[in-house]
Chain A
């Protein structure tokens, strides 16, 4: 066991810092151009645009320590906007289960961020119990295409997506985990209707997607028909690991401390208030631990193991910590946290409330916390339920 950085690690960290410094957006620069340029430059460094991808697909092959350094350094840098759906969720599925043709067709665009993906899993009747999904895909008699009809819901960024990776039902005769088929569907076509859903923070990021008799060529099926559940399950673990956001929480907690220092409380500041201070300290302690839980899981992944059920611990704890930070931010905002959409009083109060409300979803999506606990009970503790 060793936690000190080696001289090589220090060198790597410097290299990361230099890279990030050179590639921050110049004031006035065109954002989307800069974004694409950034990923090109990162690619030229040898896979820095896809840090988590395996070497054979162009990833950098970093050690766990290097991943950790990258996380730490990038979380405070203003990197271009990036969605996890293509890079973090679909790509690993393609690499593991896609055909050579599919990999060649889809991976480059995902990597270059030319194409936006959305995740079409949940349905009105299939949330926590995802396997009960009903969106129907019927194979044509000549075996060339599926006709897909159904409704997906909570689809993040569907309104900006070019493609959806979608779980469909091709067979409803057996147990429900069987008969699920993984299809890739273009979004910009007749038969796809995207309706916004406004969430508590007032934001539009999720949607309802109605799919009506959309024809999907069999070339867009990942792996075998009826095996989609197996493919998706592995991917859910990837999603969950990504959702813990530990480094982001570390930064958020530091911000919170600064914010609380700007709030007067009697002669001093809110950060001197014993009750507030101990809540911040409790968070810090949890973060010290969970940061190492993440490192342990990174190390396991580096030794070639899939992120296993341990990733549920990270999701569970990580999202709980996010929510506690968000709640304390609202608390720090005091009376001003009640103001909506206007900057009054403490500067951070406005986004504080938005963050708190939006953040309530963190323990719901990617597997609700209660369901994560079921996974741990069953897969880690080996418990059965009647």
Chain B
């Protein structure tokens, strides 16, 4: 049994941690969030230079050859810093799908640009009726000679405004909730109409309309299985990010309640406050264990990996709610302010809860 990470992974973790410590104080982040683009090009270039954008790709493709453990290390630190650069949309979702695509031509043409940060991808899978079901797709892809013609609407697409390409799930055949007949296609962002807006955590998302968008058939990246696999990795990555947020939340609460005095005592003297924070800590540790378990199972491609990832997102959702709400509660009025960091971590956790299936959704998937 060994839960140690390799020396290489330690270096990676430290370098992300350093990046976060140096670039991500709350005031700087606030400026990024308020800027039109929502993140920093400089940070993005720095991530490229540090090799993080190459992290999951095979060495033969110019990548770093990393697996889900490496992504976990990065995302956890990003969670600690509330990093807003589109790493998740781009590298975890877009890169993750492309990496596993059997469309080698597309892969070789795009990967170099992804690694330098010039090609930026995102994934558009959700639709108004689909809620969290990946296979509930009504966007159509009609075959027309050597092209497909796409029509439909996609919802809550992360970082689409700054993406150069969008991977879209669409239906070539089958019924609304059939897994068969779903394809993933790569579309130039310029071919899409977008309504771009901020998310509650300071991120960016878009509603996209596809109105007779013509896409060459060689832009097919994969099928539903690839989407499902990407969603499973997305759950791992988001859970790691959430873990980073939860760590900051429980630790700042422990710190704050020791400093804040009421009734001539630090708040942390009250037993109910102590026990509450112990519960927060226990939830955090439980999430960490399950994150390790799910991530290792994914790396080993264990038959239970999918089910464990459902367990993980469920537990993360439940614990994030508990930890986030109680961090605010125990900070009192201060916890309610935009000024303090904890509210921002709480809001990031709320958005993670809405991404790739919420607590209830994953419980049902796990139980079924």
Q: In whole angstroms, what is the CA distance A333 to B128 when docked?
A: 11
Instruction: Check: A83 CB closer than 8 A to any chain B CB.
Output: no
Q: Are A338 and B325 in contact (CB under 8 A)?
A: no
Q: Mark B191-207, 1 if CB is under 8 A from A, else 0.
A: 00001011111010101
Q: In whole angstroms, what is the CA distance A363 to B263 when docked?
A: 19
| Contact count band on B | 35 or more
Q: Mark B201-216, 1 if CB is under 8 A from A, else 0.
A: 1010101000000000
Q: In whole angstroms, what is the CA distance A340 to B205 when docked?
A: 10
Q: Are B199 and A364 in contact (CB under 8 A)?
A: no
Secondary structure at the B interface, as helix, strand, loop or mixed, is mixed
Q: Given contacts A154-B333, A364-B335, are A344 and B262 in contact (CB under 8 A)?
A: no
Q: In whole angstroms, what is the CA distance A360 to B207 when docked?
A: 29
Q: Are B132 and A335 in contact (CB under 8 A)?
A: yes
Q: Which residues of A contact B199 (CB under 8 A)?
A: 338-340
Which residue of B195, B273, B337 is within 8 Å of A199 (Cβ)? B337
CB distance from B157 to the nearest CB of A (A): 10
Q: Which residues of B contact A200 (CB under 8 A)?
A: 328, 336-338, 343, 346-347
Q: Given contacts A263-B131, A335-B354, A360-B329, are A340 and B336 in contact (CB under 8 A)?
A: no
The residue on A at minimum CB distance from B354 is: A338
Q: Are B333 and A364 in contact (CB under 8 A)?
A: yes
| Contact count band on A | 35 or more
Q: Are B156 and A364 in contact (CB under 8 A)?
A: no
The residue on B at minimum CB distance from A373 is: B272
**Interface CB pairs A-B, < 8 A, 7:** A197-B339, A200-B328, A200-B336, A330-B350, A335-B132, A340-B197, A364-B332
CB distance from B362 to the nearest CB of A (A): 11
Q: Are B155 and A345 in contact (CB under 8 A)?
A: yes
Q: In whole angstroms, what is the CA distance A341 to B205 when docked?
A: 12
Q: Which residues of A contact B364 (CB under 8 A)?
A: 275
Q: Which residues of A contact B203 (CB under 8 A)?
A: 338
The residue on B at minimum CB distance from A263 is: B131
Q: Mark B127-152, 1 if CB is under 8 A from A, else 0.
A: 01101110010000000000000000
CB distance from A46 to the nearest CB of B (A): 40
Q: Are A335 and B272 in contact (CB under 8 A)?
A: no
Interface set of A (CB-CB < 8 Å, partner B):
122, 126-129, 132, 153-154, 197-200, 202, 206, 263-266, 270, 273, 275-276, 327, 330-331, 333-342, 344-345, 353, 356-357, 360-361, 363-365, 368-370, 373
Q: In whole angstroms, what is the CA distance A332 to B189 when docked?
A: 30
Q: Given contacts A199-B338, A275-B360, A370-B272, are A365 and B262 in contact (CB under 8 A)?
A: no
Q: Given contacts A266-B133, A342-B197, A353-B200, are A335 and B126 in contact (CB under 8 A)?
A: yes
Which residue of A154, A275, A339 is within 8 Å of B363 (Cβ)? A275
Q: Which residues of B contact A266 (CB under 8 A)?
A: 133, 136, 177
Q: In whole angstroms, what is the CA distance A154 to B337 when docked?
A: 10
CB distance from B178 to the nearest CB of A (A): 13
Q: Which residues of B contact A273 (CB under 8 A)?
A: 360
Secondary structure at the A interface, as helix, strand, loop or mixed, is mixed
Instruction: Check: B119 CB closer than 8 A to any chain A CB.
Output: no
Which residue of A202, A276, A335 is within 8 Å of B156 (Cβ)? A335
Instruction: Check: B270 CB closer than 8 A to any chain A CB.
Output: yes
13 other A-B residue contacts (CB within 8 Å) besides A128-B263, A198-B337: A129-B264, A198-B339, A200-B343, A273-B360, A330-B350, A337-B354, A338-B156, A338-B351, A339-B200, A340-B200, A342-B195, A345-B128, A345-B207
Q: Are A129 and B329 in contact (CB under 8 A)?
A: no
Q: In whole angstroms, what is the CA distance A342 to B156 when docked?
A: 12
Q: Mark B144-180, 1 if CB is under 8 A from A, else 0.
A: 0000000000011000000000000000000001000
Q: Which residues of A contact B335 (CB under 8 A)?
A: 360, 364
The residue on A at minimum CB distance from B367 is: A275
Q: In whole angstroms, what is the CA distance A106 to B129 when docked?
A: 56
The residue on A at minimum CB distance from B325 is: A360
The residue on A at minimum CB distance from B342 is: A200
Q: Given contacts A275-B363, A331-B360, are A338 and B200 in contact (CB under 8 A)?
A: yes
Which residue of A199, A327, A330, A336 is within 8 Å of B336 (Cβ)? A199
Q: Mark B319-357, 1 if CB is under 8 A from A, else 0.
A: 001000100110011011111000100110011001100
Q: Which residues of B contact A330 (CB under 8 A)?
A: 350
Q: Which residues of A contact B197 (CB under 8 A)?
A: 339-342, 344
The residue on A at minimum CB distance from B262 is: A129
